[in-house]
Amino acid sequence: MVPTGPERTYRPAAASAYPRVRAPPLYRPRRDVACFFREFAMSVLDVAVTREACQPLPVLGRDVRVPLVTGGEVTYAALDYAASAPALQRVWDDVAGYAPYYGSVHRGAGYLSQLSTDLFEQSRRTVAEFLGCRPDDQVVFTRSTTDSLNLLAAVVPVTTQVFVFVTEHHASLLPWRGHDVTYLAAPGSPGEAVATLERALAARDPHGDALVCVTGASNVTGELWPVRQLAAAAHAHGARIVLDAAQLAPHHPVDITALDVDYVAFSGHKLYAPFGSGVLAGRPDWLSAAEPYLAGGGASRTVARRADGGIDVEWHTDAARHEAGSPNVIGAYAIASACRALTEAGFDALVAREQQLVDRVLTGLAAVEGVTVLSLFGPGSARVGVISFVVEGWNSSHLAAALSAEYGIGVRDGLFCAHPLVRTLLGGAPDEPAECGAPDTVPGERPLNAVRVSFGAGTPDEHVERFLGAVAELVRDGAKWEYRTEDGRCVAAG
């Protein structure tokens, strides 16, 4: 499939609805090669999208069929987007189009190295545009949201006071443990969240640095947090704020300038882009002043031997300072492709369609006896396509296992890496011991776990209807199969 001449055109093996990628000539004169690299980068990235806005975006795996324990096969219904969303077909095709030209970035004299460098840096600019970054903001490519927040925790001044709600995902909750941390109680409404933060910030030492860490949308309830108001409260008290946009960016536009946040972190694998990539974007001063997140090639500008036998190093002051080693070029390119695809599809249309799915799921679950939808802010709160619930008389792990084994529907169960929040929502104490998986419980005891259904731009209406029908049937008739706990997971027996 690799082109063999200057006029050949490369097409991915899978059928694509997008224009072909023109293969670059095998050689061009040095004087125009840089211009050509930029043109090729834009030809791959700038792809027009012509599809009905009301339809789900094409994703990989949409036609995969899976076996049922009761016999036969069905098309798999992927409803676990909050963990990892399926890759957009657009992203996969773009990556396949670039793959033959993949090379090591930065400082390479070879044709493919220079082309890959141009695509890598163009991807950085595309992400900055997607996030509405300020002119001096840095965009650092990482492995994930978790990696991004750990990077930020590593570069903030050591005396920084950190404020974080206990309702956060562990990726937002745990990286700050080496700092002076104030854990804020779970709020009962968006307004209470702002008031709680304002009280805590008013009581802090005003002479030191401070940082607030908050999610944009809960990975458990899907509820939207009042980010702009929290940012205003933080800045009014001389603090900075970082937005965990892992669950927000795939569902809503994220504008770092309009929201007035200082940093944004998100993951590619939740944004319909695979390959283990993430982003930390934001103000450059802390990033440029701190020691590199990883020491090694790429992060260093110069390295020299001292007269006393030691080593002196001068580090880069831009994003490269925290991107030591060979970067994940394909991952960065995949994120950029996803950013452009979502932007071109139109967030207004995507949000409107997803809200219809949210309303349908909430209405459908409300009609099933014994179902309780989990909510921190109460009924009617705005949310993205992430909904967790429990069913009276059911261990959530058993219900999730039956949905998979008997109906071919993939959801998630457990505590969703937000243990204090789920325990609070289920009526337990935030510090009550509990583990993910399928804990055995005595009759009448309510297990501390839940089922989470999540969906997005690639979800067909039919998958939502199948899910609602399956939940209603299981609650009414019970499971058709027997299940057992194995290595902490509930699985079909036999």
pLDDT digits (tens, 9 = 90+) for 426-447: 987 666 665 555 455 434 445 7
Residue 294, both tokens: 């990883």
pLDDT at 166: 97
- pLDDT greater than 50 at residue 37: no
pLDDT digits (tens, 9 = 90+) for 349-388: 999 999 999 999 999 999 999 999 999 999 999 999 999 9
The radius of gyration computed from the CA coordinates of the chain, to the nearest angstrom, equals 24
pTM comes to: 0.87
- pLDDT greater than 80 at residue 258: yes
pLDDT at 108: 86
Which listed residue (213, 417, 436, 490) is catalytic? 417
Pick 35 or 308 by higher pLDDT. Answer: 308
pLDDT at 20: 35
Residues 322 and 379 in one domain: no
**pLDDT, the chain, mean:** 88
pLDDT at 23: 38
Pick 36 or 419 by higher pLDDT. Answer: 419
Task: Return the closest-CA partner of residue 450 out of 485, 477, 425.
Answer: 425
pLDDT at 50: 37
pLDDT digits (tens, 9 = 90+) for 447-467: 789 999 999 999 999 999 999
In the residue annotation, 417 being an active-site residue is answered as yes
Task: Return the closest-CA partner of residue 253 out of 118, 344, 134.
Answer: 344
Residues 407 and 335 in one domain: no
Residues 338 and 420 in one domain: no
CATH number assigned to the domain comprising residue 406: 3.90.1150.10
Residue 32 lies in a domain: no
Residue 320 lies in a domain: yes
Residue 66 lies in a domain: no
- pLDDT greater than 60 at residue 286: yes
Q: What does the alpha-carbon distance between residue 257 and residue 355 come to, in Å, rounded to a whole number?
A: 25
Number of domains in the chain: 2
Q: For the purposes of burial, counting CB atoms within 10 Å of the CB of 209, is it exposed (0-12), middle (13-18) or buried (19 or more)?
A: middle
Residue range of the domain that includes 280 = 111-344
Whole-number percent of the chain with pLDDT over 70: 85
Q: For the purposes of burial, counting CB atoms within 10 Å of the CB of 296, is it exposed (0-12), middle (13-18) or buried (19 or more)?
A: exposed
- Binned at pLDDT 50, 70 and 90, residue 277 comes out as very high
Residues 274 and 389 in one domain: no
Q: What does the alpha-carbon distance between residue 151 and residue 55 come to, in Å, rounded to a whole number?
A: 38
Q: Find all residues with CB under 8 Å of 331, minimum gap 6, and list them.
A: 141, 268, 273, 274, 275, 276, 277
pLDDT digits (tens, 9 = 90+) for 10-22: 333 333 333 333 4
